[in-house]
Structure formats: structure tokens, C-alpha cells
Structure 1
């Protein structure tokens, strides 16, 4: 995998999970794989400019915000990425669709930190570790799958993805004590010793045990009282 002036690192693909009996717009979460051995030069992430933006959906609305990075590295040997990992602070999660002074902010933050969702008291961080990198070839596509329709249907993977991904990235994503491997296309630039990466993709939160309001219950779907299993993630990474 060659690192030219424009290379790929984090963006999006769509794969399976079920919504209303049809696959939803999420990357496939599979068993964890061996982490790529990182050899060569080390680029350290800049925590101040490295975040995960998240959006959660329900038929009656959505919430969004950011999860800050605490540490991370990419390793590069010559012009080849050989590995990398990123750690994110779940306790530091921010909600951006309402002011912190709103009483509902504290209620939502507390609920997200609770065992219904991240169980942050026991699992205060999330981690992504690169397991493989492949070229994004001509003809490769980001595939959109159908979601249960509502006024707040989740964003599609193609709308989240960068315009010109150049590589597929696979990696182990660990949340709430569960590690699953995901794979998605990505776009990155490397200039003057600084690597910047942007990406967006969807995951099925239930693969990591975040089961509250699981949309698979048909009765809740009929009442529009579920929370979509699909969560949109957008990565913004800077390393040097």
C-alpha cells in the first residue's frame, strides 16, 4: 500500500445489519483480527484536532456530538503505513445539539454514560487498532442499504464517505469491552510530515452491546418508539 500525496485512511462503506427485515446502512462487524505490526517511523496524533463525531437517530429526532481522542499513533515505513491505533475518551463525550446549560443535556449525557449505552464507569475509553490496509481500486463502491423510513432516517454511508477514497482500512474497534473488526474506505493526505485523515461510516451499535431501544422489536417499530441501531461516525485525525 503506497502512501502518495493523497492516500486513504478512514471513511466509509455500507454493509449488513437488519432494519425492518432489510439490511441497514452499517459496516459489517466481524470477529477481531490480529493487529498489524507497526514498524518504521511513528507519527503521533494531535489530540486537540483528532475526534470522532457521532450521530444517533430515532424517528422523532436525533442527537449528535463529539468524542475526543486521548492518544494514538500511526507507523510508516518508507511510503507504507504499517499500523496504528487511536484511543478515545468516552467520559469526555460532548453533546452538540443542545447547550450544556439545558437540563436535558445532563440527562442525556448521564444516560449515554450508563449501562444502557457505554457503561463508561467500567469502560471509559474506546479504541481503534489497524489490522490491514488495501488499495481502493477502480470500480470499488460504497454501497447504501435500506433503513426503516422515518422523518429522521440515518444518513447513508455514501453521504458520509469522502469523495475520493484510495484505500480500504480494516481495524479492531473496541467499545464496552467488546472488540469487533470493521472495514471501510478512506482518504488521507500526507504533507510536510503531517498526516490528516477524514472519514465517515455507520456502525450497528448492538454489535458492541449497546442494546437500549434496539430497533429489532417489531412492536416498537410500529409505534416509532425505537432508537435506530445505526450510529454515524465521522473521524477527523491529525498526526505528525
Structure 2
């Protein structure tokens, strides 16, 4: 009986030691905060028109600021600001058509940058390669999941994505039907973000 009791005591002690060891081995999640490097980040866009007249235009628009939080190198939240006055076409258009188009895009017919100088972007937790994203533009919020890839290089977080964002319902006359031709509210984007700790 003494041997049995000694065995049970030893087994219990070993179990407690093992449990204690596993608790000590567990590591705390690593939370990091990154700030946008606006000069190194890009957002390319391409828009289309369909109907009686078809065509497309492409260009760029800039971020002015932003920050992202990660847990164990996975994005959990973030906020970015887009400078709507920076929107411009990169199409090879004869002068002065390029300047005219840029003014048109910034004007009240489309994004009304005078009244809405920024577009605010908020993101949630990255899951299965998709980032829940809400964009507030012309005073209206649009939400969808955006496919992106991320990588951490030293103190830098890099985010890349190619996707289409749907602005159906945007408050802008330019996206309404214009005599049988309509600017498609689904705009293609190519995103490259660089952020630093």
C-alpha cells in the first residue's frame, strides 16, 4: 500500500510540474503598431464607362497618412486617409485633356474634393487573405472584403493587393446614367502599402 501511495504521489507531482511548465512556455501575443510611409505607398486605379460609349481611364491617388496594428504579424485593425485632391490620370492624353480630366474627377461632378478632401479607410482583422475594408467617400460608406498579401521585413510591414471595389450608390452625378452611357462604379485598384514601426 505504501508503494502504491508513493507512486500516486509521484505521478500527481509530475502532472502538476508538467502543467506548470506548459503555462510558463506559453508566449504572450506580440502586438505591433506601424505608421504609413506615404511616399513609398501607391494606389493605382482604373475606371470604365459602358453603354452607347465605352472606354477606360487609369491613374493614381495618394495616401496622406495611416496606421495599422498587428498581432503576431497579422493585421488586426487600421485606418488610412486618402488625399482626394491627389487623384490624377496617367493616361497619355494630348494637352490639355489630361488636366481637364483631372479637374473633372476632383470636381463636383465626380468626387467633389473641395467638399470631401479626404476618403477615410478603416480595416479590420485579416482572415484567409481578406481584409474587411470600409471606405467613406463623398460622405457615403462602402464596405467589402479586400484580398491582400502581407509580409514583415524587419521593422517594415508591406501590404499588396489587386482588387475591384464596388461604389454602387455613390453620391456623384458622374456615376449616374448619362444618355445611355454610364461610368461603372466598380473601380479596379492595385495597392502597395509600406508601413514602419
Q: TM-score range with shorter-chain normalisation?
A: 0.7 to 0.9
Gaps of 5+ in 2: 1-29
Q: TM-score, normalised by structure 2?
A: 0.75
TM-score (norm 1): 0.62
How many residues align? The count is 164
Q: Deviations over 1:83-119 (max 9, x none)?
A: 11111111011210036x7211121111111122101
Higher relative contact order (CA 8 A, sep 6+): 1
Q: Could you list the per-position Cα deviations for residues 48-67 of structure 1 after superposition, in whole angstroms to 9, with x for gaps in the alignment?
A: 11122111112432111111
Question: 1:189 & 1:78 partners in 2: Cα distance?
Answer: 12
1:217-236 → structure 2 map (5 Å cutoff)? 220=180, 225-236=181-192
2:34 corresponds to 1:43: yes
Task: Report the CA distance between 1:213 and its aligned residue.
Answer: 4.6
CA distance in 2, matches of 1:93, 1:40: 34
Cα 1:77–1:119 change in 2 (3 A) is same
Unaligned runs of 5+ in 1: 1-38, 137-166
Does the 8 A contact of 2:76 with 2:124 survive in 1? no
Structure whose CA Rg is larger: 2
The correspondence for 1:126, drawn from 100, 119, 138, is: 119
Q: In proportion to residue count, which structure has more strand?
A: 2
Indicate the residue corresponding to 1:175 in structure 2.
Answer: 137
Q: Distance in 2 between matches of 1:211 and 1:170?
A: 28
Aligned to 1:195: 157
Query: Structure 1 or 2: larger helix share?
Result: 2
Deviating above 6 A after TM superposition, structure 1's stretches of 4 or more consecutive aligned residues are none
Alignment of 1:196-211 (within 5 A): 196-211=158-173
Residue of structure 2 in register with 1:73 after alignment: 67
What is the root-mean-square deviation of aligned Cα atoms in Å?
A: 2.1
